Amino acid sequence: MNKNYSLLWLVLLPAIFVVTGCAMGTNAVGSSEKAVDTADTALVNGQFYIVDEENSWAEAVAIKDGIIVHVGSMKDVDSYIGENTEVIDLEGKFAMPSFVESHLHPLSTAYDRMFKVALHELSTPEEYVVAIKEFAEANPDKKGIMGAGFSRTLFDAVGPRKELLDAIDSTRPIGIVSSDIHSMWVNSKALEMIGITKDTPDPKGGVIARDPVTGEPSGLLQEDSAMQLAWGLFPQASKDDYKTSLLWVQKWMNRIGITTMHDAWTEFDPNFYQAYDELAKEGKLTVRVRGSWFVDPNANYIEEIEYGIELSEKFNHPHFQVHSFKFLTDNILEEETALLLEPYTHRPDFYGIKNWDDEDMVKAFAMIDKAGQQIHVHVIGDGAAKTTMDILEQIQKTNGKRDSRHSMAHIQMIRPEDVVRMGESGVSAHMSQTWMVVNEDYESVYLPYLGENRANNTYPQKSMFDAGINVTVASDLPTSEPDVMSAIYSGITRSSLGGEQLPPASECVSLEQMLKAATINGAYGNFLDDEVGSIEVGKKADIVVLSENLFEIDTEEIPDVGIEMTFFEGKRVYSKSGTYLPAIN
């Protein structure tokens, strides 16, 4: 009897190992997995770049309930495939975590393009006038004409003139916001209705552009405090308008491989934030949204922060949360409103505009940090960078240092010592890589206004990586398009395709660094690194499939690489063609 049982055990033992081996599987990053049911989806025959510290690769991924349950070889994925598993053969294509966009204005941009006259694709003032006129004639019942997307650099230092708009319509107010969102072009009727005259002083933090000869308002309101004077003249968006806009813009994001984005100017307007929240609860979002409430230095900022904290507690859906506050320490060089440590070259006594008094910013930052929320700061000039770091360090001493992941966006100019301070303080850098190119702005703004030495030492991205700063990808849409391939290319080369390189060349970074900036670093900056940003077991299946392996092509080819498929939590939300159909098991 004992002998027979022993023989039976020897027969069954190999079978037991086969069964348990099929149920367990292996993980390409070196950790064993728990037994799972068969997957809902299996992506096979791919080149998966994991984006981990070891720069690991895999051939196949299995997904169950939107979560990655296996990362490994083609052989090992078989045990996760059942008769109901959708198997997608990637045919050797390159795949990686889908992209995280760390600073953009998606909802306001979408609304502008869908419900206003959109000038973003036009390139001359003459084209602007034609488009605005056609829109005005097609909308005779609108009480005011709103538009967006004109380029500030197509005009002189004073900016576009009101007379161009007066010739289109002098009976209704017209307001056109610039593509960088830092100025509004208005007609005489708008100036009249808000009571702006030659004697009207500039609002704090803003500029009313004036004719250099007569001193009369010329038709440009620069920066938010000046633009706010005119907002009430125009119809405001409804919640349904915003929901329609959001559904449109998320398709755009999915098409270019983005499944997580940070709305860096979340409005306190209920129509704005409820559009996000309702679509999230309705299960209609195919992007994961994090946001920052915009804090106005000219309003009762204490009440705004209190209200923002209260609202933040109400939004708990994984697809929409706002636990951050947006500040503008300064503005932009193109409007001569960036804050510099040394004066503008052509204006020896002018250092730019500082939007916040130090005492107020300290109070606001401390209040937010103490509440456990994030601080997200627009910084362009080196003066703004120093001021922001001074205050961030001050509140760390007051409140105690914690894992806050506060951030600075853009950071066009910064002293080396402030780069080091960013690294030591754990401040993320949301960089706009597509701005790191030589273009008309470089010739018209950077050189004349900054001088050659300062103009040739902007965007020190490699220095930030070297300082241990969490560097991310941030297009600042609508200022520039959220084209991640172009951002990766610009970060590596500091040039546009085939163009001249922006100095210094020593600030170029590697492909591996840029891929992390576009994925896991962006996730980390939003406290999402335990959920997305890399292809690992237990994380959400946010994956993008590209037309080429970025490691096997020439750098000059990167901007032309296309998006084949985008997955959001295991759901295929974009497919370039019908090529990738479920394979036969």
Query: Which stretch of 103-112, 431-440, 512-521, 532-541 has the lowest confidence by average pLDDT?
Result: 431-440
Instruction: For residue 348, count other CB atoms closer than 10 A to its CB.
Output: 8
Among 148-162, 240-254, 307-321, 556-570, the minimum mean pLDDT is found in 148-162
| Helix, strand, or coil (residue 143) | coil
Tokens 């973003």, located at residue: 120
pLDDT of residue 36: 52
pLDDT attached to residue 13: 36
Lowest-confidence region among 81-95, 199-213, 311-325: 199-213
Question: CA-CA distance, 431 to 554, in Å (whole number)?
Answer: 24
pLDDT at 442: 82
Which tokens sit at 312?
Answer: 């933040």
> DSSP string spanning 210-264?
E-TTT--EEEEEESHHHHHHHHTTSPPPPHHHHHHHHHHHHHHHHHTTEEEEEEE
Q: Which residue has the higher pLDDT, 55 or 444?
A: 55
How many Å apart are CA 434 and CA 476, to the nearest integer? 10
pLDDT of residue 231: 86
List pLDDT tens digits, range 492-503. 999 988 788 999
- pLDDT digits 0-9 by tens, 183-213: 999 999 999 999 999 999 999 888 999 999 9
| Percentage of the chain exceeding pLDDT 70 | 92
How many residues in total does the chain contain?
A: 585
The confidence score (pLDDT) of residue 23 equals 34
Q: Which of 134-138, 272-276, 410-414 has the lowest mean pLDDT?
A: 134-138
Question: In this predicted structure, what is the pLDDT of residue 579?
Answer: 54
pLDDT score of 355 more than 70: yes
**In which band, very low, low, confident or very high, does the pLDDT at 157 lie, cut at 50, 70 and 90?**
confident
**Residue 189 burial (CB count, 10 A):** 20
Mean pLDDT to the nearest integer, 463-485: 97
CA distance linking residue 477 with residue 32, whole number of Å: 41
**What tens digit of pLDDT does each residue of 29-74 get?**
433 444 458 999 999 999 999 999 999 999 999 999 999 999 999 9
Q: What is the mean pLDDT of residues 475-490?
A: 96
- Lowest-confidence segment of 101-110, 409-418, 441-450, 479-488 by average pLDDT: 441-450
Predicted pLDDT of residue 25 = 40
What pLDDT is stored for residue 4 in this prediction? 39
Alpha carbons 470 and 486: distance in angstroms, whole number: 20
Q: Which helix (H) or strand (E) holds 6?
A: helix 2-24
Asked whether the predicted pLDDT for residue 550 surpasses 60, the reply is: yes
β-bridge partners, 430: 409, 472
* pLDDT higher than threshold 70 for residue 578: no
Residue 334: predicted pLDDT? 86
List strands edge to edge, sheet with 57-58.
Answer: 57-58, 47-49, 94-97, 543-546, 563-568, 571-575
The helix/strand/coil state of 576 is coil
- Predicted confidence at residue 205, as pLDDT, reads 86
Structure tokens at 349: 């006594």
**Does residue 1 carry a pLDDT above 50?**
no
**Distance between CA atoms of residues 223 and 203, nearest Å:** 10
Mean predicted confidence (pLDDT) in 19-30: 38
Q: What is the mean pLDDT of residues 372-389?
A: 98
Which pLDDT does position 583 carry in this prediction? 43
Average pLDDT, the chain: 91
Q: Inform me whether the pLDDT recorded for 532 exceeds 60.
A: yes
Mean pLDDT on 141-163? 90
Distance of CA 206 to the CA centre of its chain: 25
Task: Give 20's contacts (C-beta < 8 A, 6+ positions apart).
Answer: 35
pLDDT digits (tens, 9 = 90+) for 358-370: 999 999 999 999 9
Does 8 score more than 60 pLDDT? no
